[in-house]
Amino acid sequence: MSTKLCSKCKKNKTLSEFYKDKQKKDGYCSICKKCQYLYYKKTYKKRYECARSCELKRKYNLTLKEYNIMFEEQKGLCAICKEPSIGRMLSVDHNHKTGQIRKLLCIRCNTLVGHFESRYDLVSKILKYLKEN
């Protein structure tokens, strides 16, 4: 079986460890699949962190470091239901009038707080309704 030298890790590997590339003379990429995967994983993580950092700064005037400190203080749990947010980051809960940041919430609790924030009268009505039915 033929081998090829990966230009990134400098290891000789079988051709099956390289993606095909019709534009290359030998028909294979110069970087092995593993090195490409590691490169894209690292690049994606940097881009995601940069985008998240910009979003936090723009929306809440909060740095990613400050968010991570809050996250650690809450042990990664929602401030209301005390459950971890599965598949999503915890949302930054804030007062919509003053902009003051309160805590980090899961998407369910954040949505509920958002609905009730401007209608406190609904909370007691909903609780009464649930108790009666």
What's the pLDDT at 1?
63
C-alpha torsion sign, points 30, 34, 35, 38 = positive
The single-letter code of the amino acid at 76 is G
Q: How far is residue 58's CA from residue 51's CA, in Å, rounded to a whole number? A: 11
Name the pTM for this structure.
0.63
Question: What are the domain boundaries of the chain?
Answer: 24-132
Q: Is 104 exposed, middle or buried (0-12, 13-18, 19+ CB in 10 A)?
A: buried
What is the tens place of the pLDDT at every residue in 89-108?
Answer: 899 999 888 889 999 999 99
Mean local confidence (pLDDT), 104-130: 88
Q: What is the pLDDT of residues 28-51, one digit of tens each?
A: 999 999 999 999 888 888 888 899
The 3-state secondary structure of 15-43, one letter per residue: HHHEEECCCCCCCEEEEEHHHHHHHHHHH
CATH of region 24-132: 3.40.1800.10
What integer pLDDT is reported at residue 116 of this predicted model?
85
- Confirm if 103 and 77 have CB atoms less than 8 A apart: no
Give the count of alpha carbons within 13 A of 81, CB side only: 13
From CA 116, how far away is CA 123, in angstroms rounded? 7
Per residue in 7-34, pLDDT tens? 999 999 999 999 999 999 999 999 999 9
